[in-house]
Amino acid sequence: MTDDQGGPRGSRARSDGAEGTWRNLQMTLPAAGHAVGLARQATRDALATWRLAGLEETAVLLVSELVTNAVRHARGTDAIALKLQTAGTWLRIEVQDGDSRWPQPRTPAGFDESGFGFVLVDAMASKWGVRGTATGKAVWAEVDARQAGEPGDPGGRQRG
């Protein structure tokens, strides 16, 4: 594994043959409101470095929603982790926190002021899911670069 020269801090790249180059960004964020802005900027920087600017709007929205949910709802955690991975035509976004309780997505009523996070994640991501970790949980979303110009397109999407 080698450093991705010129990339954001914490960024790594490696080549795995046919899949092309795998690129990773991992960062630890405080479980506080300003974490969302830090995560958005790191995502923009990584995508620009990786020449995936076409995914920026969708990826930044997904990062914003996942980090916001972790900051607002995770109990007993002082920090959250953001991980971005890309190879070939896809980008995976993962946010980990120390709360083992899984999110409870809901369908908000028309006049609700909150509760739309997973509605947006479901509409924008090619697939998304939750997995348990040794210290809590990880919520992830994937975006297919081939669908970058078609947010919300239900064709061929999968749920994890």
pLDDT of residue 113: 62
Residue 142 β-bridge partners: 92, 127
**Three-class HEC string of 48-92:** HHCCCHHHHHHHHHHHHHHHHHHHHHCCCCCEEEEEEEEECCEEE
pLDDT of residue 1: 24
* Domain residue spans of the chain: 2-147
Under CATH, which number does the domain 2-147 receive?
3.30.565.10
Please tell me the distance from the alpha carbon of residue 80 to that of residue 61, in angstroms, as a whole number.
17
pLDDT of residue 83: 98
Amino acid at 92: R
SS3 32: coil
pLDDT of residue 29: 96
Q: Is 155 exposed, middle or buried (0-12, 13-18, 19+ CB in 10 A)?
A: exposed
How many CB atoms are closer than 10 A to CB 32? 12
Please tell me the distance from the alpha carbon of residue 52 to that of residue 110, in angstroms, as a whole number.
34
Q: Given the structure tokens 């900027």, which residue do they identify?
A: 41
pLDDT of residue 122: 86
List per-residue pLDDT tens for the chain, 160 residues long: 223 333 444 545 444 444 568 899 999 999 998 999 999 999 999 999 999 988 999 999 999 999 999 998 888 889 999 999 998 888 999 999 999 888 776 676 666 565 566 778 888 999 999 999 999 999 999 998 776 554 444 333 444 4
| Contact indicator for 44, 53 with CB cutoff of 8 Å | no
**CA 18, chain centre distance (Å):** 24
